[in-house]
Amino acid sequence: MAQMHDEDTLAFYDREAAAYAARKRGEPTRLHRFLEQLRPRARILELGCGGGQDAELMDAAGFDVTPTDGSAGLAAQAQARLGRPVRVMRFEELDEVGAYDGVWANACLLHVPENGLADVLTRIHRALKPGGRFNAGFKAGDGGGRDSLGRYYNFPTEESLRKAYGAAGDWAALELTAGQGGGFDGVMREWWFVDAVK
């Protein structure tokens, strides 16, 4: 079975959960665009919810969001912010079928080992209802490696991302957009933002 998480990366987020959850974030423009394309009160699965900021916004907008994170430390931070349970769930534990109108996976699938990414995307494809929307962001590159903080990243090319998504199932639409962004390590990088519709 392909590896779908990196233990050292999860351990980093457990150790740094309070600092990571407290960081200042920019305007969540991509999240707003994602939500605008969903029906009111749509059911959304959030993978890698971090400190719960995006789930808080989705809650406030009236969506039925299920926040999850693979780090118990971050899930606890999100639970404190949201005032409700947050499931500790690794990507390989996603086993629902046709359950969600949307999956929001902001800056989390970029930690999936390269050989496990297609398997994780397959699980997400299966969990979506027909017509469901899926948004994810990846730090661009030419193959996996670690940042200065020891976190693993898959650093995909456009070609490798398209191949992984293609292996996951049939998508009615798949759009990759290049952009720039920072991170907890303070380094600006090129990103790939992926919008998919089942």
pLDDT (tens digit, 9 = 90+) per residue, 91-101?
A: 999 999 999 99
pLDDT of residue 3: 81
Task: Give whole-number Cα distances, 165 to 24, 159, 186, in Å.
Answer: 31, 10, 29
**Three-state DSSP class for residue 188:** coil
- 38 in a domain, yes or no? yes
| pLDDT tens column, 150-176 | 999 999 999 999 999 999 999 999 999
* Residue 2 forms part of a structural domain: no
CA dist., res. 126 & res. 169, Å (int):
8
pLDDT tens string 14-28: 999 999 899 877 778
Residue 94's CATH number: 3.40.50.150
Q: Which of 87, 88, 78 is nearest to 58 (CA)?
A: 78
Q: Are 78 and 68 in contact (CB under 8 A)?
A: no
Whole-number pLDDT of residue 1: 61
58 within some domain: yes
Does 1 reside within a domain?
no
How many domains in the chain?
A: 1
DSSP codes joined into one string, 77-100: HHHHHHTS--EE--GGG---SS-E
- Please give the pLDDT value at position 35: 98
Answer yes or no: is 31 within a domain: yes
**Single pTM value for the model:** 0.95
Provide the domain limits for residue 105.
Answer: 7-197
Q: Looking at residue 67, what is its pLDDT?
A: 98
pLDDT on residue 124: 98
Does position 49 have pLDDT exceeding 80, yes or no?
A: yes
- pLDDT value, residue 181: 84
Token duo for residue 23? 């960081």
- Residue 131 pLDDT greater than 70, yes or no: yes
State the first-to-last Cα distance of the chain, in angstroms, to the nearest integer: 25
Contact, 150 vs 121, CB < 8 A? no
